[in-house]
Copies of this chain bind each other. A is one copy, B any other.
Amino acid sequence: MSYKTLEPFFKPKSIAVIGASRSPEKVGYQLVKSLIDVGYEGKIYPVNPKADEILGLKAYPNIKSIGETVDLALIAIPAQNVPEVLREAGECKVKCVIVISGGFKEIGGEGVKLEEEIKRIAKEYGIRLMGPNCIGVYDPHNKIDTLFLPRDRALRPKKGDIAFISQSGAMGVAFLDWMTMENIGLSCFISYGNKADVDEIDLLEYLLHDEKCKVIAMYLEEITNGKRFIEVASETSKVKPIVAIKAGRTMEGAKAVSSHTGALAGREEIVEAAFKKAGVIRAYDTHELFDYARALATGRIAFGDRIAIITDGGGAGVMATDKLTDERMGVGLKLAELKDETKLELKKHIPPFAIPHNPIDLTGSVTPEMYGDVIEIVSRDENVDGIVVIVLIHPPGMNVKVVDEVEKAYKSTNKPILIASTGGEPTQKILRMFQERGIPSYPEVERAVKAMKCLVERGRYLKKLERRFH
């Protein structure tokens, strides 16, 4: 089916909320509230036979009584009542439906039958169905928010270019929270749950055509159709990098998947091979997914594995070097061998007792200007494919000016530069400042090193594609 059938999930002219409620602790209340809070510009129709008005909006006893076209319906009522309502939605020509309710395939037995039934009804009426057992869509560009999670606890990030599609709502929400906290922009977020109809493949196709999306992050518990996944993911990853977590890797994890979304997690070797073939970069935990996505969102790629490390703390430089070069416990990249002219040039800018080799330790006598100069010099070296810059702000000569200095140097090159800075609140502030200037910054040296590996992987994949086409 064409990806265009999914458009009403993202750009609906009107939305009905089935199971809307007047009690703030209810999902059906939060759904209406989220749409209002996000500034949704179309019509909202709360549906509840026992209410006349919800959150200042006229309420309707059922979909039919609305008497107008409904592009998208959100359903949050007990599972056993969903088929009936879905049929009614079909008769009213609702185009898309998000079934928030749980109690389907994930609970087994009756739930499995119920899910089969809603699948059949959706097909019969040509409705595109997202869920059940999901939280749906948050799209800050199109001002759609179907998340029933209160905004004071579940934060909503600003507009941006990273899309996140997730089988799990909870993992998605953690991701959104982190994005908000780090001031990173989202293109859209989609939680698709048990995927009775809309699945990760449909969503990849949609995102491939969505101009505001530059990078795709995914949390998967199951790949429905391996062959088709590889096809679509391959097409997509040529244009937009894809990073994915595949949960349920272990036998025990796979069992847990089954009671979460009722899916079969699939064999680990097959997933591994499919990702490799399709150019999907794999992440193993949420932070990795988050870290890789924002490194990739810069559009900078490491076209080689020779990395320079610049630091003002010797120990941090050693730790980064271990992580960078270790084949088993680390990422297995190379410490760049600096050219002689680079070393000579560096000598003029580093403290007299510092040694100009990689990792380059600016020592406790560091200044913000030193960072700017040294990054510029190192980035000009042809032996360097990427730079990890460790900025510890504790030394007496350091201050926030380091952000300006690094930014200037960052703009002087196209090579990837990732920042790491470990420490408390003053450090966190600096990290956010870097991130606001579009320079990915990480609170641990190891995380920056892993993110650099991801840019190297992307570079390798693009080179491989290139060879294939020339």
Binding site for B on A (CB under 8 A): 25-27, 30, 79, 102-103, 106-108, 111, 148-150, 152-155, 166-171, 173-174, 176-178, 180-181, 219, 221, 245, 247-253, 255-257, 259-261, 284-287, 312-319, 321-326, 329-330, 335, 353, 355, 357, 359, 361, 363-364, 392-398, 422-428, 444-446
Query: CB-CB < 8 A to A111: which residues of B?
Result: 353
Q: Are B316 and A168 in contact (CB under 8 A)?
A: yes
Q: A155-B425, A316-B174 are in contact. Are A355 and B107 (CB under 8 A)?
A: yes
What are 28 A-B interface contacts by the 8 Å CB criterion? A30-B396, A102-B353, A102-B363, A102-B364, A106-B314, A150-B396, A152-B426, A155-B423, A168-B316, A170-B312, A170-B394, A171-B316, A173-B392, A177-B426, A181-B425, A248-B318, A249-B326, A252-B322, A252-B335, A253-B321, A253-B325, A253-B326, A255-B321, A256-B321, A260-B361, A284-B329, A286-B444, A287-B444
For the A-B complex with A170-B313, A178-B424, A251-B325 known, give 17 more contacts whose Cβ atoms are closer than 8 Å: A102-B364, A106-B314, A155-B425, A169-B313, A170-B314, A174-B313, A181-B428, A245-B319, A247-B322, A249-B326, A250-B325, A252-B324, A259-B314, A259-B361, A260-B314, A260-B317, A285-B323
Q: Quickly give the copy total for this chain.
A: 2
Q: A167-B315, A169-B315 are in contact. Are A396 and B323 (CB under 8 A)?
A: no
Task: Choose among B171, B318, B325 the residue that contacts A319 (Cβ–Cβ < 8 A).
Answer: B171
Q: Are B395 and A149 in contact (CB under 8 A)?
A: yes
Query: Which residue of chain B has the shortest Cβ distance to A247 in the bound complex?
Result: B318
Task: Choose among B322, B396, B427 the residue that contacts A253 (Cβ–Cβ < 8 A).
Answer: B322
